[in-house]
Amino acid sequence: MEWRQMFSTWKKVFTNWKYLAMTIIIALVFYSINVLVSSWSSLISFYSTLGFFQTIKFFLILFFGFKETIMFHSFVSLVVISILFGMLFSLVGYKISIGRGSGGKKIGLFGGMGLFLATFASGCAACGVGLASIFGIGAGALSFLPYDGFELSIASIGILGFTILSITKNMYVCKIKNLNIERRY
């Protein structure tokens, strides 16, 4: 499939308001979860002191000011991964809605690996972004990697990008084996 056809498919999918809204909502939820994970202890102590509504207000401040609390490259990779995450779910939803299935086991495997890496270390585990920090894998464990875990973000961007390209390439292809059905009258 040519790039022109891929862009045409993306245009068809993302000009539909439902899939564009799904992309934006999933990207914002993924980004919010990363803000929540990295600020969990602050939010808990804020809640116990000032209550629910002030905690929501504090969360929104953290949400919009998150780029100031982590390294710039981690913030950029988090935003890119969030958008790719939303795009992937929207493309899969679109493909399922047109009745073409999920696109095969290879895409599922790569998509699963990309989604795992994206949630595990979406920015930089040393900064406390992603599931790696919840599991206690932070700066100490990732200091053995040459870029302190940022390479996991790059890998997840690559895998998610490859998966999106593969799903787009196979958008209108159905991989069901031909069945020989005899008609009996």
The predicted-structure confidence for 173-185, as pLDDT tens digits, reads as follows: 655 555 444 544 4
Q: Compute the average pLDDT of residues 35-52.
A: 85
DSSP SS3 for 114: helix
Kindly tell me if the per-residue pLDDT of 105 is higher than 60. Answer: no
Tokens at 53, concatenated: 């509504």
Q: Compute the average pLDDT of residues 6-21.
A: 91
CB 106 within 8 A of CB 182: no
Distance between CA atoms of residues 121 and 125, nearest Å: 6
Kindly tell me if the per-residue pLDDT of 104 is higher than 50. Answer: no
96 Cβ partners below 8 Å, 6+ apart? 102
Report percent pLDDT > 70 for the chain: 64
Kindly tell me if the per-residue pLDDT of 103 is higher than 50. Answer: no
H helices of the chain, where?
3-14, 17-38, 40-50, 52-64, 72-97, 105-120, 131-134, 139-142, 150-169
Q: Compute the average pLDDT of residues 78-97.
A: 87
Residue written as token pair 């988090």? 78
Dihedral of the CA atoms 157, 162, 166, 169 (nearest 10)?
A: 100
Q: Which residue has the higher pLDDT, 84 or 124?
A: 84
pLDDT at 109 (0 to 100): 55
Report percent pLDDT > 90 for the chain: 18
Q: Compute the average pLDDT of residues 87-109.
A: 69
What rounded mean pLDDT belongs to the chain?
75
CB 11 within 8 A of CB 103: no
Tokens at 171, concatenated: 């958008």
Q: Compute the average pLDDT of residues 152-169.
A: 83
pLDDT at 78 (0 to 100): 87
Q: Compute the average pLDDT of residues 77-106.
A: 78
pLDDT at 143 (0 to 100): 56
DSSP SS3 for 181: coil
pTM of the model: 0.70
